[in-house]
Structure 1
Amino acid sequence: MIKVFLVLLVFSFLPTSFVKAQQLNVMFLNPGHPSDNPTGHFWPNVNYFMQEAADDLNINLKTIYANRNHILMKSFAKDVIGNKPDFAVIVNEKGVATSLVNKITAQKIKVFMLLNDLTNEELNALTPEQREYYAGSLIPNNFDAGFTLAEQLHQSINFSNSDSQSKVNILALHGDETSPASIARAEGLQSYITDNRNINLIDSTVANWSKQQAYEKVSGILKHQKIDIIWAANDAMACGATSAVINAGKADSMLIGGINWDDDIPLGRLSVSVGGHVTLGAYAMVLLKEQWLGVRKAKRVKHSIFQHSNVNAYETFMTALKQKRFHRCDFTQFLSNHTKAQTFSIENLICH
């Protein structure tokens, strides 16, 4: 007891700068909004999981939000350089990452890519010195997400039709034309369509991840097209599409699905949702902690996290997210040197 008291006494007299130096400092450039917004709850929830993990891992996490303004996001390099974190976590949306990486790595600050990585061309364009400060990336398999969403929707409509070989008309709502996640999800959809010749892609349009834009576009398309399935690259667009379909009086004849597992969507509102990647900000904190401790090298990680909402874990996970109960999890268990190290998965995140 006396030894413990002496240790605490010594630390109490240490300079604040010394104590702070023992803590990993991370800055997250969140491309979304901090709260309710037209593109859904995904980005606020990404930050929620990151903060829960940061608290467990003794990481000082600071987040700044771009509010879906990619011009504003380009100016964030100045904020990062001013704060001088150990790592800056960046999302490569609409090609803004290259400019940020160039400016931040020039100041010898490491950058880590989350959910949307640099493309191979962008990575190869970095100088040897910049590559030294590229701390790797963590992304889900977005191709699988796009493929799985199409598969789940198609299988559902086939189950309800007596003739499984009849033509199925599908409308695709994409997020944007440049983000790696959006491109990969579209490729997954196209791959499924190629494998199933009874699917007819009647239209494909960009709705910028927005519920309102999806509503407007689908309302117009419904006036001159027969649609059986609406495939949307995120849940917000899927919900916008659902509202348009309900207003047109065609809800009973259509299946609609999205990607994200947004927690503001009423149960049963969508036919299916594919998600789980909202948790990957927390896993990024684990990987950065291990890099900082010197037990992990910088690398590009593609993590299989996506599941569809027809799995048993979905409702339990979503209830916990809505109630913000993930503080019950011990995120240190995902460190590779933990005595009872766990794989980072949806099932292992459901803490009671």
Structure 2
Amino acid sequence: MRLFIYSMYLCAFFLCSVAAVGQEPTVKHQAPPATTKLLCFYPHRDQFWIDILRYAQAAAKQLNVEMDTFNYSFDTSRIIDKLDQLRADNPYHGVIIRLYDKDSEIIMSKIQSLGIPAFTFNSEPPDIFYGPRTRYAMWVGHLSPDYEGSSMILAERLLAVARKKGLSSFDILAINGRKTDTPAIAYSSGIRKQISGVPEVNSINLVPGNWDSAVAANVFREEIAKNPKINVVWVANDNMALAVLEEAEKLGISKQVVIGGIDWSSDARNAISENRYHVSVGGHFFEAALTVIIMQDYLHGKDFTNQGINLSSGMLAFTSETRNQIQTFLDLPPDKLDFKKLSKMHTPRLARYPTDILEIIKITNPVSHDLNLSASESQWLIDHPKLSVGIDPNRFPVEYTNRDSQHLGIASDYLTFMKKSLGVTFTYTQYGTGPDVLQRLEKGDIDLLSATIRTSARDQKVHYTSPFLSIPIAIYTRSDAPMLATITQLNNRSLALVEGNDTEAIFRSQHPEITIIPVPSVEDGVRMLSQGKCDAFAEGIFIANHAIAQAGISNLRLSINTPYNHDFCMASQNSTLISILNKALSTIDPADREAWIQKWVSSRVDKVTDYTIVLQVVVVALLILMVFVYWIRRLSSEIKFRRQVQLELQVAKSTAEAANQAKTEFLA
């Protein structure tokens, strides 16, 4: 009978609890506040919590939220004292807090009495009978890391690294937190699930490390002495894992052991970049920022019950393969992220709050947002952090390599932008002829061509980006040959073209009457023309001019510009990569495009003047000038002669008049 009564009480309590779920709590501030003011309780100031607060403060500032913080130093009595102080004067509209088992009911009851909503985060999921909107209506929601999922990710990545290192069997040491802590229990479940059925696993030993670095180092030292075959070490957080790494380095066995932890701490990421540490699973540092956003929306009438009131944040593995994309995001100052894209107030079309860190990176990263990458495209970049790029070493200024094999030129500036925009790295492979590079693309030896032109031979086998650079194709002749007025003047004459080059494909298809002479390179083409072994040579104007200058050739000239251009694209067999590249290309500022061209092309190249015609014009002008000078000099002499005759006539006249006057006077 007593058991029946207890059962009835339990059912009644369960039904009341369920009925309470989803009900709107009575919030003290009915009207949305002009400026929301939140109080954030945090346990201590280590690097992880410093990062959490940086992102939370940046989100608060961007959403016009004032957020005060209170460090309770793992002493929950300080939280209680602070809440008691607020009973007399409470300036806050809401509280965000990390939940602990100890004193949690007392804390929630005090928040309830204040009449302000609370949102808990970065802690274990609450019990079904004791959680948001059950006993405490003002506890409106909870966000916890996916502890079991993160444990599985860490185990899976560690085993993948071990296989890559050539290990054929695994002896695993798992150093957890405290046995009774909910996260540690979930971690244990996750790693056991992940390794279940993995044939290479010889043994697993799960040992508590109590979240303490010194304890973890001691555990590792003792366990490795017992079992020297240990080659995989799973650790519940990065601080403990780095202490294990340091101990392994002291013992001289760090190269033999694969080590990883959880948190994405900056020290862990640096160790991965130095190839000392292998895996760090994280992303939950963003939970406080997301909590600020959800609370601000809630206080302005945007509830989240359609998504649930117990939310979980998905995490991601930071490894040598994924670090570029993740680090690009982490290198951005938090105030540069677009937190409004996570808010239902500012983004009305947002149906649900993104809680997975990969989703958050995509949405808040200003570069990723500008690119508007799909989920599959973002995942493709994570799965392919390193790309092999085929480059032409002799195509200045489009691209070329210097003596140190460094990739330079206009295309290199575009690839530098791509690296920053997409968070990938490139390895470069020099290629020779067109058929050679096509075979490499087909085999998968090359993921991408940095600068190429569409041809009919490749159209069926590769995908192209939109053109990012256009260079006019010109025809060159010797200086002693007549200038060309049209391309058809080369019919039945010889034209040198680089074999397998895009220019060759153009002329073979458009001008079959011209005799094509294939040459290995641009340099070979200009030398052949200079030596009179062909009638003309065609190539992109900047490319040919550079080759002529480098060869020190002075008897060639640009004879005619063709109607054709080199429209340079990037090319790949992977359509997803091409889609990503097109989105990145569309975000480049036109001023940057022009600057990259001007950087490698110091001056515009005009058509060379035909000096034979100039000489003829000059000779004619000189003849005219000589005739003009001759007539001027002749006219000047005649004027002088006439003046002399006139003077002599004047003198004769005067003499005659004087004689007549003398004669008259004598006769008188």
1:24 corresponds in structure 2 to 36
Counterpart selection for 1:350 from 358, 365, 372: 365
In structure 1, distance between residues paired with 2:76 and 2:175: 25
Secondary structure of the equivalent of 1:223? helix
Secondary structure of the equivalent of 2:114? coil
Contact 1:235/1:261 (CA < 8 Å) preserved in 2? yes
| Corresponding letter in the other structure for 1:61 | M
Q: State the Cα distance separating 1:264 from its structure 2 match.
A: 2.7
Structure 1 residue 195 corresponds to structure 2 residue 200 = no
1:245 corresponds in structure 2 to 248
Q: State the Cα distance separating 1:53 from its structure 2 match.
A: 0.4
Contact 1:138/1:280 (CA < 8 Å) preserved in 2? yes
Contact 1:93/1:179 (CA < 8 Å) preserved in 2? no
Structure 1 residue 135 corresponds to structure 2 residue 150 = no
Secondary structure of the equivalent of 2:346? coil
Decide which moves more: 222-231 or 92-101: 92-101
Structure 1 residue 315 corresponds to structure 2 residue 318 = no
Counterpart selection for 2:50 from 44, 56, 64: 44
Secondary structure of the equivalent of 2:96? strand
1:285-316 Cα distance to aligned partner (Å, 9 max, x none): 11111110011146424345311114866434
Q: Which aligned pairs between 1:156-195 and structure 2 lie closer than 5 A? A: 156-161=161-166, 163=168, 166=169, 168-195=170-197
Counterpart selection for 1:55 from 38, 61, 67: 61
Secondary structure of the equivalent of 1:295? coil
Q: Against the structure 1 CA distance between its residues 121 and 177, is the aligned structure 2 distance closer, same or farther, given a 3 Å change threshold? A: farther
Contact 1:259/1:275 (CA < 8 Å) preserved in 2? yes
Q: State the Cα distance separating 1:341 from its structure 2 match.
A: 5.8
1:252-302 Cα distance to aligned partner (Å, 9 max, x none): 110000111111332233211111111121111111111100111464243
Q: Against the structure 1 CA distance between its residues 339 and 44, is the aligned structure 2 distance closer, same or farther, given a 3 Å change threshold? A: closer
Q: Against the structure 1 CA distance between its residues 340 and 111, is the aligned structure 2 distance closer, same or farther, given a 3 Å change threshold? A: closer
Contact 1:335/1:341 (CA < 8 Å) preserved in 2? no
TM-score, structure 1 as length reference: 0.81
Secondary structure of the equivalent of 2:222? helix
In structure 2, distance between residues paired with 1:162 and 1:316: 28
Decide which moves more: 135-144 or 264-273: 264-273
1:9 corresponds in structure 2 to none
In structure 1, distance between residues paired with 2:101 and 2:139: 19
| Corresponding letter in the other structure for 2:54 | Y
Structure 1 residue 278 corresponds to structure 2 residue 285 = yes
1:292 corresponds in structure 2 to 299
Contact 2:287/2:313 (CA < 8 Å) preserved in 1? no
Higher relative contact order, chain-length normalized (CA < 8 Å, sep 6+):
1
Unaligned runs of 5+ in 2: 1-31, 368-668
Q: Which of the two has higher C-alpha Rg?
A: 2
Contact 2:342/2:363 (CA < 8 Å) preserved in 1? no
In structure 2, distance between residues paired with 1:285 and 1:24: 10
1:221 corresponds in structure 2 to 223
2:112 corresponds in structure 1 to 105
Q: State the Cα distance separating 1:173 from its structure 2 match.
A: 1.3
1:114 corresponds in structure 2 to 121
| Corresponding letter in the other structure for 2:35 | Q
Q: Against the structure 1 CA distance between its residues 230 and 93, is the aligned structure 2 distance closer, same or farther, given a 3 Å change threshold? A: farther
1:6 corresponds in structure 2 to none
Counterpart selection for 2:83 from 80, 83, 88: 80
Q: State the Cα distance separating 1:336 from its structure 2 match.
A: 2.2
In structure 2, distance between residues paired with 1:76 and 1:269: 40
In structure 2, distance between residues paired with 1:106 and 1:349: 36
In structure 2, distance between residues paired with 1:87 and 1:187: 35
1:333 corresponds in structure 2 to 341
| Percentage identity across paired residues of the two chains | 21
Q: Against the structure 1 CA distance between its residues 320 and 155, is the aligned structure 2 distance closer, same or farther, given a 3 Å change threshold? A: closer
Q: Against the structure 1 CA distance between its residues 131 and 93, is the aligned structure 2 distance closer, same or farther, given a 3 Å change threshold? A: closer
Decide which moves more: 80-89 or 274-283: 80-89
2:238 corresponds in structure 1 to 235
In structure 2, distance between residues paired with 1:301 and 1:64: 24
Q: State the Cα distance separating 1:184 from its structure 2 match.
A: 1.8
Q: State the Cα distance separating 1:23 from its structure 2 match.
A: 1.7
Decide which moves more: 248-257 or 186-195: 186-195
1:17 corresponds in structure 2 to none
Contact 2:54/2:334 (CA < 8 Å) preserved in 1? no
TM-score, structure 2 as length reference: 0.44
Q: State the Cα distance separating 1:61 from its structure 2 match.
A: 0.9
In structure 2, distance between residues paired with 1:45 and 1:181: 20
Structure 1 residue 256 corresponds to structure 2 residue 298 = no
1:173-215 Cα distance to aligned partner (Å, 9 max, x none): 1122344333222211111122325424443222232323222
In structure 2, distance between residues paired with 1:280 and 1:160: 34
1:154 corresponds in structure 2 to 159
Q: Against the structure 1 CA distance between its residues 58 and 312, is the aligned structure 2 distance closer, same or farther, given a 3 Å change threshold? A: farther
Secondary structure of the equivalent of 1:308? strand
In structure 2, distance between residues paired with 1:162 and 1:239: 22
Q: State the Cα distance separating 1:345 from its structure 2 match.
A: 1.4
1:102-160 Cα distance to aligned partner (Å, 9 max, x none): 33223323221102145215616x995x4311111112322110001001111221233
In structure 2, distance between residues paired with 1:171 and 1:260: 19
Contact 2:133/2:139 (CA < 8 Å) preserved in 1? no
Decide which moves more: 97-106 or 246-255: 97-106
CA RMSD for the aligned pairs? Answer: 2.7
| Corresponding letter in the other structure for 1:302 | L
In structure 2, distance between residues paired with 1:334 and 1:341: 10
Decide which moves more: 335-344 or 299-308: 335-344
Contact 1:257/1:272 (CA < 8 Å) preserved in 2? yes
Q: State the Cα distance separating 1:93 from its structure 2 match.
A: 3.8
Q: Against the structure 1 CA distance between its residues 242 and 279, is the aligned structure 2 distance closer, same or farther, given a 3 Å change threshold? A: same
Contact 1:214/1:241 (CA < 8 Å) preserved in 2? yes
In structure 2, distance between residues paired with 1:272 and 1:264: 12
Contact 2:97/2:119 (CA < 8 Å) preserved in 1? yes
